[in-house]
């Protein structure tokens, strides 16, 4: 049993859109200005909010997901990734009690707070509310066991903050730890496909700095630091990794505006198994990096950049040639779309790599959204037949060929086949956190290493 310690706070919310990300980024920016060495985390599978955290801090933000990784691994990653920092700030997901299903709070921000003995601050949007704000707060405070130590009021003016604070203390006995006013200059925006990613926003650094200035003047940061210091000791077992010795192997990883959805802990896990990840851009580069023996194509927004991706025929040819030559290629969601025959955005049909026989069409609604457990129906470059691994899906597109390498089961017991596989290709919609099944990372690296040791030629 390992015992870890460290100050930490979880910023939870009443629901999506209540201001969690605004408050979290403002707090992170203010802490950076105070020179507090801070590590940021995001509850759940979301890729985008950690990008904003990373933009503010200049260091990588991580995901904590109980469904994908399990309780012990979440505690381990929180402690390991916080090592050396003075404070960990964890942003919640959706509403404080929203998790993998509708019967309990498993996988929610509150679950993670209870699991890790982390104090919670609940963000409430006060717009259009008076006494009803107290009723709303009472519901969250009394619904079930929680670690809520105080409230933060969003979209609140300085003039009204004192009135709300006094009312909430009198009615509920709960303290407020400040407020965030409406800051038009700090708005992030969104698209129908989801939130805009950090590198798409003009003058983002200025926006984050503006939030930090507001947070410094309107949040009780000293009080938040004191609350965070009361976090209890973490207790967990260090996960065992069965790593065999072997040479480092260079694996190309797509990283640009079209392909940017990765879990940092997954990438580091690949490194522990011997991968040297070499970034490349399917948008800008004319071919895969030299001397690579595998390819990872993560998710992102290839549909937004479909025209440029399709026009970069040299890169498409390079990826196709690598696939035909037996190089291991793992593709998730957007990467799956890139390997397919084409992407139809409703106005144009853009040819893609054609490595897998799947055609994609954008939709106006989420398709097969949510958490799932995958069971491998066949041997593949990640799993052995019968292996189980957790995943998450979030996509506004559909395909005429999902593949049948895995059987997916969601929280309601619905099941279907998914993911295209061959001897060297694994491509599908599921996003997998490799800490769900660490040996999957080792399996992929081993496949790339065997390709390098066997018939695989250096890629140029």
Q: What is the phi/psi pair of residue 324, to 5°?
A: -65, -30
The Cα 9–Cα 225 span in angstroms is 8
Residue 274 — left, alpha, or beta (φ > 0 → left; ψ -120 to 50 → alpha)? Answer: left
220-224 contacts: CB < 8 A, separation 24 or more? 220/176, 220/177, 220/178, 221/27, 221/30, 221/31, 221/34, 221/178, 223/150, 223/175, 223/177, 223/178, 224/9, 224/27, 224/121, 224/177, 224/178
64 contacts 54 by C-beta, under 8 angstroms: no
Q: Which residues pair with 43 in a beta bridge?
A: 64
Sign of CA dihedral 169, 172, 173, 174: negative
Instruction: Tell me if residue 330 falls in helix, strand or coil.
Output: strand
The Cα 21–Cα 89 span in angstroms is 11
Strands 388-393 and 370-376: antiparallel
The Cα 40–Cα 10 span in angstroms is 10
- The active-site residue, picked from 333, 383, 391, 405, is 333
- Taking residue 364's Cβ as centre, other Cβ atoms within 10 Å add up to 7
Cα maximum dimension of the chain: 74
The Cα 41–Cα 255 span in angstroms is 21
167: tokens are: 């009312």
Strands 87-91 and 38-43: parallel
The Cα 338–Cα 336 span in angstroms is 5
Please confirm, yes or no, whether 69 is among the known catalytic residues: no
The Cα 363–Cα 344 span in angstroms is 10
1 contacts 10 by C-beta, under 8 angstroms: no
Which sequence positions are flagged as catalytic? 333
């Amino acid at each position: 049993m390992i015992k870890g310690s460290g100050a930490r706070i979880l910023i939870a919310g009443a629901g999506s859109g209540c201001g969690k990300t605004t408050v979290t980024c403002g707090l992170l920016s203010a802490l950076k200005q105070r020179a507090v060495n801070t590590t940021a985390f995001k509850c759940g599978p979301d890729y985008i909010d950690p990008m904003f955290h990373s933009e503010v801090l200049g260091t990588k933000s991580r995901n904590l997901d109980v469904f994908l990784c399990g309780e012990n691994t979440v505690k381990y990653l929180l402690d390991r990734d916080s090592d050396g920092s003075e404070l960990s700030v964890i942003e919640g997901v959706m509403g404080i009690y929203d998790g993998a299903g509708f019967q309990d709070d498993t996988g929610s921000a509150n679950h993670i707070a209870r699991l890790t003995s982390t104090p919670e601050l609940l963000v409430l949007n006060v717009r259009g509310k008076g006494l009803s704000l107290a009723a709303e707060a009472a519901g969250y405070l009394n619904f079930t066991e929680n670690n809520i130590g105080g409230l933060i009021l969003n979209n609140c003016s300085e003039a009204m903050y004192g009135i709300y604070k006094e009312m909430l203390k009198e009615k509920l006995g709960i303290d407020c730890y400040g407020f965030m006013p409406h800051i038009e200059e700090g708005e992030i925006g969104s698209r129908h496909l989801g939130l805009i990613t950090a590198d798409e926003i003009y003058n983002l650094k200025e926006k984050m700095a503006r939030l930090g200035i507001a947070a410094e003047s309107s949040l009780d940061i000293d009080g938040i630091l004191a609350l965070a210091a009361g976090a209890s000791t973490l207790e967990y077992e260090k996960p065992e990794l069965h790593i065999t010795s072997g040479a480092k192997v260079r694996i190309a990883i797509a990283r640009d505006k079209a392909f940017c959805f990765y879990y940092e802990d997954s990438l580091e896990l690949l490194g522990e198994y011997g991968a040297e990840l070499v970034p490349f851009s399917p948008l800008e580069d004319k071919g895969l990096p030299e001397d690579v023996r595998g390819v990872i194509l993560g998710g992102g927004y290839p549909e937004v950049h479909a025209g440029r991706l399709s026009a970069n025929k040299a890169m498409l040819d390079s990826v196709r040639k690598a696939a035909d030559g037996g190089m291991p290629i793992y593709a998730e969601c957007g990467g799956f779309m890139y390997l397919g025959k084409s992407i139809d955005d409703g106005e144009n049909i853009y040819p893609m790599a054609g490595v897998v026989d799947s055609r994609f069409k954008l939709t106006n609604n989420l398709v097969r959204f949510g958490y799932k457990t995958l069971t491998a129906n066949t041997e593949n470059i990640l799993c052995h037949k019968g292996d189980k691994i957790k995943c998450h899906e979030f996509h506004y597109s559909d395909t005429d060929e999902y593949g049948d390498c895995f059987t997916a089961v969601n929280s309601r017991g619905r099941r279907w086949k998914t993911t295209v596989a061959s001897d060297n290709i694994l491509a599908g919609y599921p996003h997998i956190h490799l800490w769900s099944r660490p040996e999957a990372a080792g399996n992929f690296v081993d496949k790339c290493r065997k390709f390098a040791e066997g018939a695989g030629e250096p890629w140029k």
